[in-house]
Amino acid sequence: EIKAFIFDLDGVITDTAEYHYKSWQSLADEEDLFFNREVNEKLRGVSRMASLEIILDGKEVDEDTKKEWTDRKNKYYQKYLEEITKENILDDMEAKLERLKNEGYKIAVGSSSRNARKVLKQLKIYDMFDAISDGNSVENAKPAPDLFLHTARNLGVEPEECVVLEDAESGVEAALAANMKAVGVGPEARVGKANLVYGNVDSIDFDEILEKL
Ligand code: G16
Ligand code: MG
């Protein structure tokens, strides 16, 4: 029996990927690192430091420099976050969240981002959620199941009673590793391991999810 829905943030509720992209691009330009949209695509759902490692692609940099670079990227990113408003909620996601709440389901956010709470406040939906887990909540990032298990514990439900909505391969893997049902948002090549896949946020059908999972 499904009792809760756990939503990824970037790529499911809102599209902050573009701001992450621009922020990494600024850093890469300043530090002469190879970066483009194709590399950015690999950073979907990946934590901040792991993202830098993907960009570095084996290039050796000392820890202090890595820390300075990720801090600087985050400073750029946080500037973009100031611009975010309700308009940045994807499609009719807010109506969908409200409907689930009204039907008695618990709703939560499970995001890799350490800025997730700030983003939710900017979107003016922070208070809707029964639990919020972010990049500060657990040590092991997606694809480890820890973040979603932490969320289920906070909601007071069993992992088997949770449905996770994710746009990243690492997030789908994390949900399945947590013994939860996974709904993928995006192309099969990326989220095809999920129990149910929708091409985009707009086509997510909660009646179908409740019927099939
Ligand atoms: C998001 C993004 C990732 C980003 C990560 C960490 O994950 O998809 O690209 O690297 O958060 O963000 P921050 O630097 O703000 O801690 P999610 O899980 O919400 O899709
Ligand atoms: Mg995501």
Please tell me the predicted confidence (pLDDT) of residue 138. Answer: 97
Please tell me the predicted confidence (pLDDT) of residue 37. Answer: 96
With the most atoms of ligand 1 within 8 angstroms of its CB, the residue from 111, 142, 190, 201 to mutate is 111
Percent of the chain with pLDDT over 70: 100
- 147-188 per-position pLDDT tens digit: 999 999 999 999 999 999 999 999 999 999 999 999 999 999
Mark residue 204 as left, alpha or beta (left: phi above 0; alpha: psi -120 to 50; beta: remaining): beta
Q: Please, are residues 149 and 128 in contact by the beta-carbon 8 Å criterion?
A: no
Please tell me the predicted confidence (pLDDT) of residue 81. Answer: 98
Distance CA 213, CA 208 (A): 8
Please tell me the predicted confidence (pLDDT) of residue 208. Answer: 98
Mean pLDDT of the chain: 97
Q: Please, are residues 11 and 40 in contact by the beta-carbon 8 Å criterion?
A: no
Task: Determine the distance separating the centroid of ligand 2 and the alpha carbon of 37, expressed in angstroms.
Answer: 16
Q: Which residues of the chain have pLDDT under 70?
A: none
Please tell me the predicted confidence (pLDDT) of residue 210. Answer: 97
Distance CA 38, CA 36 (A): 5
Please tell me the predicted confidence (pLDDT) of residue 16. Answer: 96
Please tell me the predicted confidence (pLDDT) of residue 44. Answer: 94
Q: Write down how long the chain is.
A: 213
Q: Which chain residues have CB less than 5 Å from ligand 2, an ion?
A: 8, 10-11, 45, 167-168
